[in-house]
Amino acid sequence: MRMHRRDVMRTHRELVLGGDDGQDTGDPAARGTVRDEIVSSWRRCRLVGVTTSGEDVPYQAEFERPNRLLRAADPVIGRLADQIDDGPATILLADSDAQIIDRRAGRRELANALDRLLVAPGFTYAEEFTGTNGIGSALEECRPFVVSGAEHFRDNLQQFTCMGSPIRHPVTGRVEGVLDVTCRVEDRHELLAPLVLAAVREIEARMVADASRREQMLLDRFVRAGRRSTAAVVSLNEDVVIANTAAAGLVELSDQAVLWDWACRILGTRDEFTGDIRLSNDVVVQARATRVGERGATAGVVIEMRPQPDRAAPSGRTRQRARAGAGEGRLVGRSVASSRLRDAVDAALAAGRPLLVCGEPGAGKLFVATHVHGRRAPGEPVTVLDAVLSADDPTGWLGRLTDALDGPGGVVLRHLDQLAPAVAARVAAVVEQVTTARLVVTARHRGGAGAASRVLDHFPVSVTVPPLRFRGEDIADLAPLLLGAGSSRRPVPRLQPGTLRTLAALDWPGNVRELGAVLCTAAVCSLGSDIGHRHLPPEYRSPGGRSGPSSLLRAERDTVLEALAETGGNKVAAAERLGVARSTLYRKLRQLGIDDHRLPGADPG
């Protein structure tokens, strides 16, 4: 008896899930029914653990919209929507992460069915989350992909036929998104594929025209700036960098993303701005940024830079030595918060007293503590003890502490705020006898009512390591160090500018430790090449919570965070620095999604 095609597909899928190649369905006439690309997709789904009965779909209520893709696609899918209005098909537009960003047309009953199955803007249809489907599988295969009925990996999607095609930027070759047309299986039409492919070609053509217009505007302004100035000149946007000879010797790859983000931030509400910016290797330049394009349709920026002689880092061989020593304990970072941390460490070293290093988990407290010892007594050994272990063997742990303090070199005592109460008083008596900077302890923060908190009172000198979310621009400097430490590959992979922009926009609750883990994973995926957006773990490819006019929102958010960082989390002082009422600052904190309970500082209100 010949098997029904849907039964053949399901049987074949079960064989694949069971580890079989799925070549024998039990019906000789059915062999070859399942296309090779579908079987390959099923295998990928099996490997990442997608379940056939699953119904969950990742969702982001707010997300950064790819403006370049939307500019090119909106007129095309708008015309298609008019043509098939109230028809049996729905048009879906997804970004390069398979997140649906637009849905058009379709009969009401089809729209309702898609809503029930979460096929709507904000939901992500990557294969790793939702199995074989027209959006995610087209991205995985990097080519047009049709999935019909039982070819879907998930059972709840098998009532649909989907045809998706990647949209590639014709200039960069980068996949910008996917155009998908979805209908019910019984409404499938032979013109579905030609319709999608023709629309994709038109979108790509519009991208070329848009890119050409924007790049021509950038080039024109670059030439005009170069004629009137002897400064280093860079003209850039998200994808294009044009630099004169002076700028080419000054701006490194990591600086491109930093310059673009800086320009977006300071040009959020103006067309021109002049100010200082710190580039790689502590080179400080005075930069004048000028918007290129029309308001609301920015083509990019032109930045004219002049190094500040009294603040620029050495060049040539001295700069090479600075690079070589980057992994030897330097406190890198070009942000205001990092600059203040370096000043605080200098002051602590000058005081010559035992030091308390505070900060969130993963922020780099141990790194700062060992840096202090390296500055205090280069070459001396350092003993590191963890107060968390004091609860397991209080007497033995206390003995190791006294031995370390009696011996040579420095001592770092980690997590002192988690010291076992049973030994707190004895530890306080021991550390009270130490009067030099050879003892450095770490803790999350001062305060609290426990016995361990009273031990912290014996450290009048302290510094606070700012969380990574307050110093996103430091990622350009941290990444080479973290990649060098976590990868044996040489040369060390670099971050592409777009990747750096994405990472700098994230909040990093796990701070530098989390960043290091993400970069290590990305380096493995990149196989030694420069790390692109696609090499990041999926959950790190989109800076969630940033939507609408991204440059303005980012400008507001970063300005508020920078003011809070500069005032140590004191919201009254931050409001004064911003020139707004305290009530206005509180309202901005809520609007921008900034959790004021996670801010450092002494003033809660």
Would the pLDDT of 132 be above 90?
A: yes
- Please tell me the predicted confidence (pLDDT) of residue 541: 79
484 compared with 19, residue with greater pLDDT: 484
Is residue 24 over pLDDT 50? no
| CATH 1.10.10 location in the chain | 550-598
pTM over 0.85, yes/no: no
Helices marked H in 229-293 — which ranges? Answer: 245-248, 253-266
CA distances from 278 to 170, 191, 261, 557, 558 (A): 34, 56, 13, 20, 16
Positions of CATH 3.30.450.40 in the chain: 67-207
495: left (phi over 0), alpha (psi -120 to 50) or beta: beta
Q: What is the pLDDT of residue 22?
A: 46
DSSP structure class, residue 312: P
Question: What pLDDT is recorded for position 19?
Answer: 59
Domain 336-464 has CATH 3.40.50.300: yes
* Average pLDDT value for residue range 448-475: 84
Nearest to 5 by CA among 259, 274, 181, 185: 185
pLDDT, residue 451, reads 78
pLDDT score of 318: 34
Q: What is the DSSP letter of 12?
A: H
Classify domain 229-307 at the CATH topology level: Beta-Lactamase (3.30.450)
Side chain identity at residue 22, one-letter code: G
The strand pair at 382-386 and 410-414 is best described as parallel
Between residues 605 and 417, which one has the greater pLDDT? 417
Residue 408 contacts residue 326 (beta carbons within 8 Å): no
What tokens were used for 414? 């980690």
Which stretch of 37-51, 423-437, 509-523 has the lowest confidence by average pLDDT?
423-437
pLDDT digits (tens, 9 = 90+) for 536-548: 888 887 654 333 3
In the chain, list all ranges with CATH 1.10.8.
468-535
pLDDT surpasses 60 at 555: no
Per-residue confidence (pLDDT) for residue 4, from 0 to 100: 56
Query: Which is higher by pLDDT, 553 or 235?
Result: 235
Residue 121 to residue 130: CA distance in whole angstroms: 15
Residue 371, token pair as written in the block: 């840096």
Q: In which residue are the tokens 């060049």 written?
A: 315
pLDDT of residue 595: 59
Q: What's the mean per-residue pLDDT of the chain?
A: 80
Q: Residue ranges of the alpha helices (H) in 292-432?
A: 317-324, 336-351, 365-376, 394-406, 421-431
Fold classification of 550-598 (topology level):
Arc Repressor Mutant, subunit A (1.10.10)
Percentage with pLDDT > 90 across the chain: 23
Mean pLDDT over 145-171 rounds to 91
* More confident of the two residues 259 and 24: 259
Pick the closest to residue 16 from 41, 31, 27, 30 (CA basis): 41
**How many residues are given for the chain?**
605
pLDDT class of 489 with cuts at 50, 70, 90: low
Beta bridge partners of 92: 103, 180
Identify the pLDDT of residue 321.
32
What is the architecture, at CATH level 2, of domain 468-535?
Orthogonal Bundle (1.10)
> Average pLDDT, stretch 35-60?
89
Phi and psi, residue 50, nearest 5°: -70, 140
Topology of the domain covering 67-207 = Beta-Lactamase (3.30.450)
Mean pLDDT of the region 17-33: 50
pLDDT of residue 161: 94
What integer is the mean pLDDT of 271-297?
81
End-to-end CA distance of the chain: 77
CATH 3.40.50.300 positions along the chain are: 336-464
* pLDDT tens digits for range 391-402: 888 889 888 988
Which of 30 and 555 is assigned the larger pLDDT? 555
Average pLDDT over residues 449-474: 84
Give 596's pLDDT tier (boundaries 50, 70, 90).
low
Among candidate residues 344, 379, 352, 360, the one with its CA nearest the CA of residue 440: 352
